[in-house]
Structure 1
């Protein structure tokens, strides 16, 4: 259990550093926005399922969270282009 939490925490740190690197070095704006939103969605899913114990929740809450996250990411990427 503790190893899993430490692994997830390390992965979150790595994804955050990756987001910072992408925002500074990617020259194509639309590519950078897509990558950053994808990494942010991945971090959100990791936090919600691992640290907020959503993996033990009802299927309705899991599906609705993923659906709303997909809509938000899609709308931000669409509006930014």
Structure 2
């Protein structure tokens, strides 16, 4: 059975945009971490934070889908 890191490497090989998804996900992660460390968020920042979290989740789901697809293709 392939491990997550192996699946990621396989997905990077098979899907050229996987690296871009990883990079965007990491960037969002960093921004979200920084925002969550603030003591108080303005209502506007709270809305932005929720938007960023949803986008990060969407990217993660897309990466998981590509990893699954890469795994299935490698088992053929």
TM-score grouping bracket, smaller chain normalisation: 0.5 to 0.7
| Distance apart, 1:14 and its partner CA | 0.6
Change (3 A) 1:32 1:23: farther
Deviation at 1:29, TM superposition (A): 3.3
Residue equivalent to 2:21: 8
Give aligned pairs, total.
Answer: 54
Moved over 4 A (4+): none
Task: Indicate the RMSD between aligned Cα atoms, in angstroms.
Answer: 2.7
- Structure 2, unmatched stretches of 5+, are 1-10, 67-76
Q: Which residue of 2 aligns with 1:42?
A: 55
Which structure would you say has the larger Rg? 2
Shift of 1:23: 2.5
Can you give the 5+ residue segments of structure 1 that lack an aligned partner in the other structure?
54-81
Q: Secondary structure at the match of 2:17?
A: helix
Give TM-score, length-normalised by structure 1. Answer: 0.50
Structure showing the higher helix proportion among its residues: 1
